[in-house]
Amino acid sequence: MCRLNSHPFRSVIISRESETILSSPKDGTRPRRCLEVGPDVPLDVLVYDPRFLDHVVSPNHVERPDRLRAIVERLKQERLYAGVEAAAPATRAEVERVHRSTYVDYVRDLGGGFLDPETAVHPETFEIASLAVGAVLGAARAAVRDGRPAVALVRPPGHHAGPDYGGGFCYLNNVAIAAAECAARGHRVAILDYDAHHGNGTRDIFAASPSVLYVSTHEYGIYPGTGPGEDVGEGDGRGFTVNVPLSAGCGDTSFLTADEAIIEPIVEEFRPDVVLMSLGVDAHYRDPLTSLTLSSPGYVELVSRAANAAARLCGNRIAIALEGGYHLDALAEVFAGVVGRLQGRKVDLALTEVFDDKVRGRAAIEATKRAHGAYWNLR
Ligand SMILES: [Zn+2]
């Protein structure tokens, strides 16, 4: 169903930051404080800041500024780059909802060095990482406030950053900080992590929390090595950590079967107030870092299902944040497909080959179902 039909009328308060960007109306009048959503007003929110391009880990590093350039360029080509909002850097108090004070000081004051051999720190790293957190916070707040999907185009990524550590190209955990803020306001949060790597940082932050559901599909055995199906969380949080540890070669049918057998039923039973998504495009078959084989339509379908679930369960409150993904064409077209889907527009996708048509991940899916049989109503 077209989202315009499901939401025929909605008022959107334009934030101070967005006024700067939306301050050139075609008729030359002053920007309005309120807009009525009509056909010319995008139905999702994009949060982006060109300062993310200033983050350079090291020369020739795969997590490079061109990743965001490729996404933004493709969104512009598709006329989907609209309703873009800027964000303010996260405050110390916001960051410390999930990270220890000593770790925050360490990253801020390091000046130069490494969190791990592939995660270098420079004098500007902390500031740009804080801005990425602010962008994801902005997207989550917009989704919660307005009941419309939001997409944060950010780097550096965040899901490998835990309470007192970083690594895997991550410094501060963007999505976890947004989830912690939502949880502090009494919301039940479902985090769907569709990056090819297990989000060990997010897992560790919320392992004992029953108000934040963490679901991750990932290639098991590669970096960071965590995320077996039997890891269901700790203490009061048991059952609220859901890992689907896929093997090399798993793609569309494995992901979609995992979604039907595990993710959708658990999210449905959990009844989130908001859905946050860590969206990495490194599970794509063109990605150079992993051996998963999702196609571009497979990605768009997964996100589409999550958006449908958010519409059904929590009034369209879904915010999506970029994590990994290192093949520029795959990254650009998946995000174009996703933003197009959220705006009710179909985008032509070129990377459509399906390599997994026999549910290669069935063993992993069954293992996760066994581990969670005691906690959720899974058939
Ligand atoms: Zn990744």
Tens of pLDDT, residue by residue over 96-144, are 999 999 999 999 999 999 999 999 999 999 999 999 999 999 999 999 9
Question: Which whole number is the average pLDDT over 32-38?
Answer: 32
Residue 195 Cα to ligand 1 midpoint, Å, equals 5
Q: Is the pLDDT of residue 23 over 60?
A: no
Q: Is residue 27 part of a domain?
A: no
Q: Which residues surround ligand 1, an ion (CB under 5 A)?
A: 195-197, 280, 282, 324
Question: Which whole number is the average pLDDT over 242-269?
Answer: 98
Residue 35 Cα to ligand 1 midpoint, Å, equals 37
Q: How much of the chain, in percent, has pLDDT values that exceed 90?
A: 87
Average pLDDT of the chain, as a whole number: 90
Residue 37 Cα to ligand 1 midpoint, Å, equals 35
What domain range is 66 assigned to? 39-372
Q: What is the reported pLDDT for 43? A: 67
Active site (annotated) includes residue 160: yes
Residue 74 Cα to ligand 1 midpoint, Å, equals 21
Q: Is residue 21 part of a domain?
A: no
The one catalytic residue in 55, 160, 198, 372 is: 160
Residue 21 Cα to ligand 1 midpoint, Å, equals 31
Give dist(CA 327, CA 332) in Å, integer.
9
Q: Count how many domains the chain has.
A: 1
Q: Is residue 18 part of a domain?
A: no
For residue 319, give the nearest of 337, 301, 342, 297 by alpha carbon.
Answer: 342
Beta bridge partners of 245: 218
For residue 319, give the nearest of 307, 309, 327 by alpha carbon.
Answer: 307
Q: Is residue 346 part of a domain?
A: yes
Residue 162 Cα to ligand 1 midpoint, Å, equals 15
CATH code of the domain containing 244: 3.40.800.20
Q: What is the reported pLDDT for 92? A: 98
Give dist(CA 85, CA 48) in Å, integer.
6
Q: Is residue 94 part of a domain?
A: yes
